[in-house]
Amino acid sequence: QGLHRLMVNAGKLYFGTAIETNNFNDRPYRAIADNPDEFGMYVPENSQKWEAIQPRQGVFSFDAADSVARLAKTNGQLFRCHTLTWHSQLPPFVQNGTWTRATLTAVLTAHITSVVTHYKSLCYAWDVVNEALAENGTLRASVFSQILGPSFLPLSFSVAGAADPSAKLYYNDFNLETTPAKAAGALRIVQQIQAAAAPIHGIGFQAHFRVGQTPNRTALVTLQNRFVALGLETSFTELDVAHLTLPANATAVARQATDYVGVVQACLDVPRCVGIVVWQFTDKYSWIPNTFPGLGDACLFDRDFKPKPAYTAVASVL
DSSP letters, 231-293, are T-EEEEEEEEEEBSSSS--HHHHHHHHHHHHHHHHHHHH-TTEEEEEES-SBTTS-SHHHHST
Give the separation between CA 192 and CA 198, rounded to whole angstroms: 9
Taking the complex as a whole, the smallest distance from the CB of residue 173 to ligand XIL amounts, in Å, to 8
Q: Is 45 in the site for ligand XIL (CB under 6 A)?
A: yes
Taking each helix axis from N to C terminus, what angle separates 250-269 and 217-228, rounded to the nearest 10 degrees? 30
Taking the complex as a whole, the smallest distance from the CB of residue 45 to ligand XIL amounts, in Å, to 5
| Options 24, 93, 287, 292; binder of ligand XIL; rule CB under 6 A | 287
Cα dihedral: 21, 25, 28, 29 (round 10): -10
Under 8 Å between Cβ of 234 and 14? no
Q: Which C-beta is closer to ligand XIL: that of 46 or that of 265?
A: 46
CA angle 313, 223, 193 (to 5 degrees): 130
Give the separation between CA 190 and CA 294, rounded to whole angstroms: 35
Q: Shortest Cβ contact with ligand XIL: which residue?
A: 287
Under 8 Å between Cβ of 132 and 89? no
Concerning whether 177 is annotated as a catalytic residue, the answer is no
Question: Which residue among the candidates 20, 38, 131, 233 is catalytic per the annotation?
Answer: 131
- Exposed, middle or buried: residue 61 (CB in 10 Å: 0-12, 13-18, 19+)? middle
Q: Is 23 in the site for ligand XIL (CB under 6 A)?
A: no
Shortest CA distance to 155 belongs to which of 188, 124, 197? 197
Q: Which C-beta is closer to ligand XIL: that of 238 or that of 259?
A: 238
Under rule CB under 6 A, which residues in 125-154 are in contact with ligand XIL? 130
Taking the complex as a whole, the smallest distance from the CB of residue 233 to ligand XIL amounts, in Å, to 18
| Options 46, 142, 145, 175; binder of ligand XIL; rule CB under 6 A | 46
Taking the complex as a whole, the smallest distance from the CB of residue 167 to ligand XIL amounts, in Å, to 17
Is it true that the peptide bond before 138 is cis, omega within 30 degrees of 0? no
Under rule CB under 6 A, which residues in 170-209 are in contact with ligand XIL? 206
Q: Which C-beta is closer to ligand XIL: that of 6 or that of 132?
A: 132
Question: Which residue among the candidates 38, 45, 233, 238 is catalytic per the annotation?
Answer: 238
- Exposed, middle or buried: residue 253 (CB in 10 Å: 0-12, 13-18, 19+)? middle
Q: Which C-beta is closer to ligand XIL: that of 99 or that of 157?
A: 157
Q: Is 164 in the site for ligand XIL (CB under 6 A)?
A: no
Q: Which C-beta is closer to ligand XIL: that of 24 or that of 287?
A: 287
Q: Which C-beta is closer to ligand XIL: that of 17 or that of 224?
A: 17
Concerning whether 238 is annotated as a catalytic residue, the answer is yes
Give the separation between CA 81 and CA 17, rounded to whole angstroms: 12
Question: Which residues of the chain form contacts with ligand XIL (CB under 6 A)?
Answer: 45-46, 130, 206, 238, 287
Residues with active-site annotation? 131, 238
